[in-house]
Amino acid sequence: MEAFQLFDWVVVLGYFIVVMGIAWWVIKQKQQTSADYFLASRHIGWFVIGASIFASNIGSEHVVGLAGTAAKTGFVMGHYELHSWIVLMLGWVFVPFYMRSSVFTMPEFLEKRYSSTARWFLSLISLVGYVLTKVSVTVYAGAVVFQTLMGVEFWTGALIIVILTGIYTTLGGLRAVVYTDTLQCIVLVIGAITMAIIGLVKIGGWNELVSILGHQHFNMFRPASDPEFPWVGMVFAPPIAGIWYWCTDQYIVQRTLAAKNEANARRGTIFAAYLKLLPLFIFFIPGLIAFALAQSGKLELASADQAFPTLVKTILPVGLRGLIAGGLLAALMSSLSSVFNSCSTLFTMDIYKKLKPDSSERTLVLVGRIATVVVVASGILWIPLMKYISSELYTYLQSVQSYIAPPIAAAFLLGIFWKRINAKGAVTALIFGFTAGMLRLVLELNKESLSGFLYTIANLNFLYFSISSFLCCIAVMVIVSHLTPKQDEQKIQGLTYATTVAADKKKSRASWNFKDAILSLIVVAIIACILIYFSPIGVGG
């Protein structure tokens, strides 16, 4: 393997100069209010929204983690990447309620739908989630890239990116995030597609890749008896995490809240849904190629998570390595910038402002910046403990998200579709689900010292745990809600389908047209074709 050359470093440096230039231009714009800083003055168009959603989702943990999981387990984890239909749910189902309520954050929406207690719990759960998933896995993956591809010491490389990203995010707010995300999205997609094409050419084409690895490596539906990825778990558990992530998580939803109007927010999600179809191919395929080359002795992999950066370092020429490295760094920075802005918004608007409602706009922005530093530092401190959950980055990520997602997904879904669900039911379910998830996490960290019932809980497949937790949370919400008084319908007017007035329904209907519907249906059709192709009756058979 060749080391990074001077021209590679020049390409990477040029990329950074462009990104920081855009961020500086944004920082110089006036941002006097919290709406300016946290929601980019609610004046973002659909293209920027869609690109920002995609770039925020596809971080270094995806570039590194998806290639790594493909190298180790094949296409089976692809179910988590076929969530374009859930991105459409954000635009078609959830956005109308979010836009009508004019909220800054998802916890704020829960307060309007349920109570201030629900808002506090969701803020707490979300911040814990950022520490355990987004911050820790993004920084870890970035450090792997630096160490494997660029020869920079693990922690040094990670901290460099954290500091650079933190500067333009904390100074520029969401406007800096979404505009730099648009550039990073373009760089990331072009770089990954280039990598996949060159890799396929080198291996001899798609059919040759299938021949080398065997059809089972391309099967997304493993037997129900499979100890790691049974098809029942893979069909029903990923959508639970997907609804939480795409439809209720501040990290993603904040981009739609910054839209000019409902039409732009929805079209942004449609655009993002098309972009979301790409990762299954542009990140999984390089991982498969790396594994195939390793099997034939043409490449050495120290670990599955090093598949993508090792492949870049092995097969690409000077200069092009720098371009791909720029794409990887783009992924890292876009994810971190989104985390930085979202956690500062959550803490500032949902916790600090509730405690000190008379705080000035300037104070709110300052508190948001301080909160960002604390959350990021906590995430970095968690990194050494990640290996006790899973040695594979992407599996770790999905495991922990399976512990966090069920109560939140249940609270939002039932809250919008069923007006009878009340605040006591929602809060009880949030407490129950979060406690169960954290208990599972603690037990898993200490699994080797457990026995009996506790070991059974700690060793339960994470997919089945997610499904069980989700169903239990729904049961808790329904039972508690029916044993306690109904919610005041005036209070929740416009926040559920049953309480939305005719005028709002008419306005929402006017925000989309036939073209929007057809483009959305095409996404669903593509997903169906992909599932059939990578199944026992397709290439996986």
What percentage of the chain has pLDDT greater than the value 70? Answer: 88
Place 40 in a pLDDT band, splitting at 50, 70 and 90: very low
* Residue that has been written with the tokens 């050359």 in this structure: 5
**What residue type is assigned to position 403 of the chain?**
Y
Direct distance between the N- and C-terminal alpha carbons of the chain, in angstroms, rounded to an integer = 36
pTM value is 0.86
Question: Is residue 517 predicted with pLDDT exceeding 80?
Answer: yes
pLDDT at 426 over 90: yes
Question: Residue 39: its pLDDT value, please?
Answer: 45
Q: How does pLDDT run across 222-240, given as a tens digit for each residue?
A: 999 998 899 999 999 999 9
Residue 323, Cβ neighbours under 10 Å: how many? 20
Instruction: Report the candidate in 26, 265, 377 with the shortest Cα–Cα distance to residue 168.
Output: 26
Q: What are the tens digits of pLDDT across the range 96-115?
A: 999 888 887 788 899 999 99
Mean pLDDT of the residues in the chain: 84
Give the residue, 479 or 14, on which the prediction is more confident. 479
Q: Please give the distance of CA 502 from its chain centroid, rounded to a whole number.
A: 34
Helix (H, G, I), strand (E, B) or coil at 4: coil
Q: Write the pLDDT tens digit of every residue in 205-216.
A: 999 999 988 888
Q: What is the mean pLDDT of residues 404-426?
A: 95
Model confidence at 32: pLDDT above 60:
no
Residue 95's nearest CA partner among 238, 264, 341, 339 is 264
Of 73, 82, 394, residue with least CA distance to 219: 73
Predicted confidence (pLDDT) per residue in 345-396, tens digit: 778 877 888 788 888 878 887 888 788 788 878 888 888 888 878 777 888 8
Q: Is the pLDDT of residue 405 over 80?
A: yes
**Rg of the chain taking only CA atoms, in angstroms:** 23
Query: Residues 186-196: pLDDT tens digits?
Result: 777 777 788 88
Task: Please tell me the predicted confidence (pLDDT) of residue 35.
Answer: 46
CA angle, 420 as apex, 417 and 424 as ends, to 5°? Answer: 110
User: pLDDT (tens digit, 9 = 90+) per residue, 44-64?
Assistant: 788 888 887 887 787 667 778
Between residues 197 and 27, the one the model is more confident about:
197
> Does position 180 have pLDDT exceeding 70, yes or no?
no
Domains and CATH numbers, the chain: 6-25+35-384+503-533 (1.20.1730.10)
